[in-house]
Amino acid sequence: MTPMKEDYLKIIFELGGSHKKVSNKEISLGLGIAAGSVTEMISKLADEGLVVHEPYAGISLTAKGQRYAAELVRKHRLWETFLVDKLHYNFADVHSEAEVLEHQTSDRLAEALDDFLQHPDHCPHGGVIPSANGKFPDVSHRLLAEAADGETVVLERFLDNHELLTYLEELHLRPQDEVRVIRHEPFEGPIVITKDGNEHKINVSYKAAHNIFIK
């Protein structure tokens, strides 16, 4: 399987494709690519029995696709955790390293890494780490972009994307931060928030707000 196909499976997994249907637009925003390219790749994945695409309804992972995605995500997030916790990598800089390491990681090595890290259940950007048998707890799939003006929410996790994580690092936003939504600027403008009761306003871009999950 090509790295691009694997990236699609991982993003569908992260967006909740194991439990619900996700849209082309969500995948497009998550990967930062044109919607037309998404349509073409989803068709290929459907032909391979990895996803189900229902026109006007959305895309979900098949059992086969979910197993494959969970294995990739598990190895990727174990390495991210190792790089941050043990090698003290910056929060935003681990994605590209883990992307390389996951493809060289056998099941045996993943188990050894999991044991060494004492079985973490979340990676540094808040994503759940599936177990060796592909099980994982349900998480919120509600987006910051969907929060109402005036609502206070907790940032649960960020989509696993280097550009996004670098951007959020610059905004000093991390998983488990409590934020209050002030307003949604019109015409796909930023979401204006404050953090931890501070009155300082933070503008979170429209695209980033669709890649941040809240509870």
- Distance between first and last Cα of the chain: 34
User: What is the DSSP secondary-structure string of 37-72?
Assistant: HHHHHHHHHHHTTSEEEETTTEEEE-HHHHHHHHHH
Q: What is the pLDDT of residues 168-214, one digit of tens each?
A: 999 999 999 999 999 999 999 999 999 988 889 999 999 999 999 99
Confidence of residue 20 (pLDDT cuts 50, 70, 90): confident
State the Cα–Cα distance between residues 128 and 34, nearest whole angstrom.
28
* Short-list 188, 187, 157, CA closest to 173: 157
Residue 34 has pLDDT above 90, yes or no: no
Tokens of 170: 């610059």
Confidence of residue 2 (pLDDT cuts 50, 70, 90): confident
Alpha carbon dihedral 35, 36, 38, 44, in 10-degree steps, equals: 170
| Gyration radius of the chain's alpha carbons | 17
161 contacts: CB under 8 Å, gap ≥ 6: 30, 31, 32, 95, 211
140 contacts: CB under 8 Å, gap ≥ 6: 156, 157, 213, 214, 215
Q: Which residue has the higher pLDDT, 123 or 18?
A: 123
- Give yes or no for a contact between 24 and 42, defined as CB atoms under 8 angstroms apart: yes
Question: In 88-199, where does DSSP find H-type helix?
Answer: 94-102, 107-116, 162-170
pLDDT at residue number 201: 95
Q: What is the pLDDT of residues 56-98, one digit of tens each?
A: 889 999 999 999 999 999 999 999 999 999 999 998 888 889 9
% of the chain exceeding 70 in pLDDT: 100
